[in-house]
Amino acid sequence: MHLEGSCHCKKVRFELESDLIWPFMWCHCSICRKTAGAGFGCGIKCKKDAFRVTAGQDVVKVYRPMRMKRFFCPECGSHLWGHDDEWPDLLFPNAAAIDTALPTPDRVVHVFVGSKSSWFEILHEGESHDEWPTLSMDEYHARFGWTPAP
């Protein structure tokens, strides 16, 4: 699936190809909540070599509070994508930064629910984990039959 994304002010634009965007991971950790300015952060997944910045590469900034590097626009503050050295071949675009219409997932996975904001009530059903689940994102895709054909 070809996807395009951007920051709010449109200084930074990117595109990617991904067949592995489900399940959506709704992360309730304090870092995702603070950097997203919301009750949770939501990332999708793509291969690093299938991702390309098409505008604004020279202005993109990086914030690394822990393992995950978070790439953002310094003009409008939009969190755009993340990268974790544990998965060197993958990037995790912020679903909210995707401009292309994303399909509605038939399930989501809630992670770091143990640090969820008290004011946010989870109403969307899905697996729930107090911390990071024992399955990797690839294992979730395989478990639900979402691994693309070779």
Q: The domain spanning residue 7 has which CATH number?
A: 2.170.150.70
What does the pLDDT look like over 77-124, one tens digit per residue? 999 999 988 888 989 899 999 999 988 877 788 888 898 988 988 887
| CA geometry: angle 26, 1, 53, nearest 5 deg | 80
Q: 137 falls in which pLDDT band (50, 70, 90)?
A: low
Query: Which pair of structure tokens corresponds to residue 23?
Result: 């399940």
Total structural domains within the chain: 1
Asked, for residue 148, whether it belongs to a domain, the answer is no
Give the per-residue pLDDT at 108.
Answer: 80
Average pLDDT, whole number, for the chain?
85
Asked, for residue 67, whether it belongs to a domain, the answer is yes
Give the per-residue pLDDT at 149.
Answer: 37
Top pLDDT among 51 and 42 is at 51
Give the per-residue pLDDT at 146.
Answer: 61
**DSSP collapsed to 3 states, the chain:** CEEEEECCCCCCEEEEECCCCCCEEEECCHHHHHHHCCCCEEECCEEHHHEEEEECCCCCEEECCCCCEEEECCCCCCEEEEECCCCCCEEEEEHHHECCCCCCCCCEEEECHHHCCCCCCCCCCEEECCCCCCCCHHHHHHHCCCCCCC
Asked, for residue 149, whether it belongs to a domain, the answer is no
Give the per-residue pLDDT at 87.
Answer: 83
Note down the domain range covering 137: 2-143
Give the per-residue pLDDT at 73.
Answer: 96
Asked, for residue 130, whether it belongs to a domain, the answer is yes
